[in-house]
Chain A
Amino acid sequence: QVQLQQSGPGLVKPSQTLSLTCAISGDNVSNNSATWNWIRLSPSRGLEWLGRTYHRSKWYSDYAVSVKSRITINPDTSKNQFSLQLNSVTPEDTAVYFCARDTFVLFERLYYYYGMDVWGQGTAVTVSS
């Protein structure tokens, strides 16, 4: 059974960096049929995808346009986890942050999408001085 365990602080000061980690059990961050995502939930914006990292012969990371200048998502193969860093935070970044796994199945040279089937427990992050 695949599980994602999140860790990181729940309070970050404005202008500082939000850092969260998602530890994977039952799967591998290097799995070529998965991507590893960070998503946040807030009352004002609902679910917002922030970005992902994945391995397809080499490592890739993709980011949402809304946070592209401030975000880094990195894999850590030695610990089988991935991390989120969001710089220069403001109160608008207050939200519940989730990590999640996407899975795919290759069939007749096409990758079929099986959705975000495993989620972390969520971390409530408040940006406040």
Chain B
Amino acid sequence: EIVLTQSPGTLSFSAGETATLSCRASQSVSSIYLAWYQQKPGQAPRLLIYGTSSRATGVPDRFSGSLSGTDFTLTITRLEPEDFAFYYCQHYGSSCSFGQGTKLEIK
């Protein structure tokens, strides 16, 4: 079973800044099976990124995903108040797994 480790657990930024969230897999995974989700209290998770770097329908271009070595990254530029939430990476395979999440909070 693939374990996804997200870091850091909490990030604090001000609106307008750029946040970078990291997700590392316990073993090599195909980039086409890595996705990112945003989750706000009382709401269902929302798909942001699939295939490591493709934005889902309706997701602003402030959100971008990439792979560097073994680290998957979600970058959010020009942070807006509605971006402060929990973010999860997810891998699809013979079994699915989510990272433990990163909380993005307002500084």
Measured as residues with beta carbon below 8 angstroms from the partner, the interface class of chain A is 20 to 34
Are A46 and B98 in contact, CB atoms less than 8 angstroms apart? yes
Check: A86 CB closer than 8 A to any chain B CB. Answer: no
Instruction: Scan A92-104; emit 1 where CB is below 8 A from any B CB, else 0.
Output: 0000001010100
Are A65 and B1 in contact, CB atoms less than 8 angstroms apart? yes
* B residues in contact with A98, CB < 8 Å: 44-45
* A residues in contact with B94, CB < 8 Å: 62
Are B45 and A47 in contact, CB atoms less than 8 angstroms apart? yes
- B58 CB to closest chain A CB (Å) equals 11
Are B98 and A113 in contact, CB atoms less than 8 angstroms apart? no
Given pairs A46-B88, A114-B50, A115-B50, 17 additional interface contacts (CB within 8 A):
A37-B96, A39-B98, A41-B45, A46-B101, A47-B88, A47-B98, A49-B96, A49-B97, A98-B45, A100-B44, A113-B51, A115-B51, A116-B90, A119-B44, A119-B45, A120-B44, A122-B43
Are A113 and B32 in contact, CB atoms less than 8 angstroms apart? yes
Count of A-B contacts judged by CB separation below 8 Å: 71
Q: How many residues of B contact A (CB 8 A)?
A: 28
- The chain B residue with its CB closest to the CB of A116 is B47
Near B by CB (< 8 A), chain A positions 79-100 give: 98, 100
- Chain A interfacial positions (CB closer than 8 Å to B): 37, 39, 41, 45-49, 52, 62, 64-65, 98, 100, 102, 110, 112-117, 119-122
* A residues in contact with B45, CB < 8 Å: 39, 41, 47, 98, 100, 116, 119
Q: How far is the CA of A117 from the CA of B37 in the complex (A)?
A: 10
* A residues in contact with B50, CB < 8 Å: 113-115, 117
